[in-house]
Structure 1
Amino acid sequence: MSTYAEEIVDLLREVNRLVRERMARFLQEQGLPHSPSWAPVVRHVAMCPGVTVNELSRRLGMAKSHVSILAEQLQGEGILRKEPDPHDQRLVRLFLTDEGARLRGRWQETYRAFLAATVRSLPEDRAEHLLDGLRALRAALSAERQGGAGAEREGGGAG
């Protein structure tokens, strides 16, 4: 792995960790639930209403038992509801409650406001370079997922 690649990997991990830590504190200050495991579950259930625990565990890359426990907790908090599948009573489908949808909206607003304030603190030229780099990384990842090549050049070089 090149020095650039190693540093990028390390920085992405560190930035992700810092965002999660600061966001948890920020959500707590706002009086919002802030379990780091809850957010992806709520986000996926909102995007795919009626998803099963099995499907959700595959999409999130989490153990089914962990997703099942999280779903129970979220149901207990009034954020999710479980409904039996009308065609297969063995399956349980997950849906956001009205409170869950409201809470997800508040989480999203809070998250975006938090990140926007952080980005606004950067000098404009740094923010532009960061945006260019992230776009190039996204293009490279998209091309890799689609089996394409050469997308890593999109958005310019490292100079």
Structure 2
Amino acid sequence: MDEELPEPVRAVEHELTALLRRSRAISLEIAREVHPEIEPNAYGLLLWLRRCGSTRLTELATRLGVGKGTLSRQIQALEVLGLVRRDPDPTDRRAWQLSLTEEGQRRFDAARSSRLDQIWRALEDWPAQDLADLARLLSRFNDTWG
């Protein structure tokens, strides 16, 4: 089967593997900057909460591609650390709106600044069009795959 695929597909798989391996290591570092007790996966969760401000658990689970049970456990751990809060959803008494606390937002913003600096150092010599193309193609890939 693998031999039947075009070489560029195998090359993309190879590069994604390298990127994901490197990303996991960076996510662990960045997550520890937010709080020494959070899981590496929490960075992506915090990023979505920072981006959307407030969202329901079901919407967040769909965006992140994880089960509600797994996400609920992660949220609970972040609540205990004082980084995330649940507020009653004004449109549905059975649901909750999730958002970052002020402390969560402050810690996340500081850690994200560090990550953005790392990305910028890696890409600062790239032509602007290459950088725009990378962002566009990564977005297209994520939209297609997710």
Q: TM-score, normalised by structure 1?
A: 0.71
The answer to whether the aligner puts 1:64 opposite 2:62 as a matched pair is no
* Structure with the higher fraction of residues in strand conformation: 2
CA change 1:69–1:140 in 2 (3 A) is closer
Using CA pairs under 8 Å that are at least 6 residues apart, name the structure with larger relative contact order, 1 or 2: 2
Counterpart amino acid of residue 44 in structure 2? P
Aligned positions, number: 138
Q: Quick check: 71-80 or 106-115, which moved more?
A: 106-115
Q: 2:49, 2:98 within 8 Å by CA — same for their partners in 1?
A: yes
The structure whose Rg is larger is 1
> Residue 42 of structure 2 aligns with which residue?
38
Q: Does the residue aligned with 1:62 lie in a helix, a strand or coil?
A: coil
Correspondence for 2:90 = 86
2:103 to 99, 117, 125: 99
Shift of 1:117: 3.1
**Aligned-residue identity in percent:** 21
Residue in structure 1 matching 2:11, options 1, 7, 16: 7
Residue identity opposite 2:39 in structure 1? S
- The separation in 1 between residues aligned to 2:93 and 2:23, in whole angstroms, is 40
The answer (yes or no) to whether the contact 1:57–1:64 under 8 Å persists in 2 is: yes
Q: CA deviation at 1:114?
A: 2.1
Match of 1:91, SS state, is strand
Mind listing any 5+ residue stretches in structure 1 that lack a counterpart? Answer: 147-159
The change in CA–CA distance for 1:97 and 1:27 in structure 2 (over 3 A counts) is closer
